Each structure stands twice: as C-alpha cells, then as structure tokens.
Chain A
Amino acid sequence: MKISRRGDPSKDNADVSLDAYQERRKKIANFFRAHRLQAHLSLETVAQDLGLEDSSILLAYEAAVDPIPLDIIFALTNVLNIAPEDTMNVIFDTHRDQGRI
C-alpha cells in the first residue's frame, strides 16, 4: 500500500510505503520516549509542559499511533533538554534510511 507524503493513504502520488512510514514514525517516537524516561519525567508532567490538554495525546505520539507534529518535536526537544542536533540527526537519519534525502 502506498501513502502520500502528507500521510493520506488515499492519494495516488505516493512514494513511501506504509511500512516504511510507520517504521520512521516509531523510530522518532521511541527517541523521545527514551529521552523522557531517561529524564525521569512522567507523561503527565511533560504533557503539561507542552501545553497539551491530555497526557493521552503524548501517549499516542510515543506509541507512534499519531505522528508527532513538527512544533511538538521542537517543544519536546526543549522540555526534555535534548541536544537540538540529536533531534535533527534522528529525523534526518530516519529520512535517510528511507532514501528520502
């Protein structure tokens, strides 16, 4: 099955397989989850710092159920004190793995 760059499986101009897309999403989600756990922060605390209404939204991001929006990626990097270059590397690496860049 093919999906578009915007994540809409109904589009025909797809160039990424769904498996690869989900794999990339999981890798980014795991990266932030691992950093949160390393910082000993609960889902609720981080969700509050991010201004999310509910920690279940963050849980969905970390479980790779929902893709993490770019603004949340920036906010997570700041809140979890992750080196910006690490975040950029993970995102670039996942895209590089998929042959996107």
Chain B
Amino acid sequence: MESTQDLIWILDSDPACVFLYHQTLGLQYKITAFSSVDTFMDALATQTRENPRLLISDPENITGSLVDAFNRARSIAGSALRLPEFIVASRVDDLDLIRFYLKAGARDYLLKPLRPNELVAKVERSMNQISNREVLILRNDLDGIQINDLTFREHQMLTVFLSRPDRKVARTELYDAIWNKVTVNRKTLDVHLFNLRRKLRPYGFDVICEAQIFCLQRARAHTSAPEMMEESDDDGSDTMTA
C-alpha cells in the first residue's frame, strides 16, 4: 500500500535546526531539507508526483528570498508550479517582519529557539487547515464544460472526482474527502450524489457505481426502463438471465 505520510520541506541551512525538525516531525511526516531557495525551487519544478504540503523556512538561514521566488513563480502566466503553504521560523522577533511574512501568505511565524511541542502542534494545525482548504478549492469544469447550478456539497463531490486521474472514488474516500472527520448518515452522500447525477446528465456525464466504487464518466445512452414485473411468489433472490 502506498505511504500516506504527508511531505514537509524544510528550507534552512542550519544543521542543528534540520536535526530538530527530523526529530520532532520525522515520525509523522516525510521531511526533506534544502539550504537555498534556488535548489528548493528547482526541486519543486522537477517534482512531479509528490508535492510538499508545507514548507518551513528560516529566511535568515538561507541564500535567496523565498517571498521573491514565490512572487516570480506566481507571475509566470500559465505556470503549473504548485507552491506549498509555508511557515516562517526565525530568531528575529520584529513586529514589522512578522507582519510582512504573514501578509506575504505565511500560515504562521515561529520564534527560534523552537519548542518541539509548539512546533508539532502548529504544524498539525496547519496541515489540517491545508487539507480542509484543498477540498474547498472547487472545480466545476468537466472536460471544458462548465457545470452550473451545483450546491456547495455537489461542487465538493465533483471536485473530488476531478482530482482523481481515473475519476474513480470509493464510497469511504468520498466521505472522508467531503466530511473529513464529521460523522454523517451514509444516506446523506446518496442524496447529494443523486442530485449531482441529476445535474450532470444533461451535460452528458454520469456517476456510475460498481461494487462501492463511484466513477465519473460519460453517461451511457439512455435505455428504456425494464419491463415492470408482475407480482411473483418467489423470494426475489434470483437474477434475471440474459
């Protein structure tokens, strides 16, 4: 089974700090460290399968400016580079600097020397916020067709399907992706799925269920409903033969 450990990248040239990150976060996350912004950006550009979920950076300990590099990457039109969320960890306790990084998009600003428990708690919180937000970035373009009139949940559901290369999602995965840790009745999903299918079919798409796996695909040609059966005395457990 594929590892589900999230990837965290560290941008810090201080070996002692990198050691601390490995010690405190290494059990929960896969850690990779870089010492300069250029090597980090190169690695990000060549990274095809696994994108880092979070970056922890010390701007004082690296060569190059992370914020400038991010701004340059964002300014490239049509760039497919997916920039990670980042946390700044620094020894500098300066209000203007903290304001600057938070304004630049940092999820948090940690003061060094780092306290392991605080680091773990804040990284966990950031990772939760990121995973929740990923579902919220809704998509409604289906092979170039804009699907309109979807509710929030239907949007989320469509986004989950579109995020999969084969557009196949197991029922349990669909629950986890949409409701995360909230317990909901299993029929809630069926109602939303019913409505999503109803809205997708006019666009030529449908969600087909096969052995608890839902697959978003082109709608099959509409076949006439099977003949209604007359009342029978059998137990109904047999299946119709072709």
Contact = CB atoms under 8 A, between A and B. Distances in A.
B15 interface: no
A41 interface: yes
B213 to A, nearest CB: 11
A75 B190 contact: yes
Nearest to B219: A83
A27 interface: yes
Interface string B203-242: 0001111011010000000100111110100011101100
Interface in B166-214: 185-187, 190-191, 193-195, 197-198, 201, 206-209, 211-212, 214
Contacts, number: 79
Given A44-B237, A83-B201, A34 B227 contact: yes
Contact of A34 (B206, B208, B211, B225): B225
A26 B231 contact: yes
Contact of B209 (A31, A49, A51, A74): A49
A34 B209 contact: no
Contacts of B206: 81, 83
A78 B239 contact: no
Contact of B236 (A51, A62, A85, A90): A62
B240 A78 contact: no
A25 B240 CA distance: 22
A8 to B, nearest CB: 23
B226 A71 contact: no
B199 to A, nearest CB: 9
29 contacts: A26-B231, A30-B228, A30-B229, A31-B228, A33-B229, A37-B229, A38-B240, A40-B239, A41-B239, A42-B239, A43-B235, A44-B237, A49-B211, A49-B212, A51-B186, A59-B237, A62-B236, A63-B236, A71-B187, A71-B191, A74-B191, A74-B194, A77-B194, A78-B190, A78-B193, A78-B197, A79-B209, A83-B201, A85-B201
Closest 7 CB pairs of A and B: A71-B187, A37-B240, A84-B198, A34-B226, A75-B190, A74-B194, A38-B226
Given A40-B239, A49-B211, A78-B194, 10 more contacts: A26-B231, A33-B229, A38-B240, A43-B236, A62-B236, A75-B187, A77-B194, A77-B197, A83-B222, A84-B195
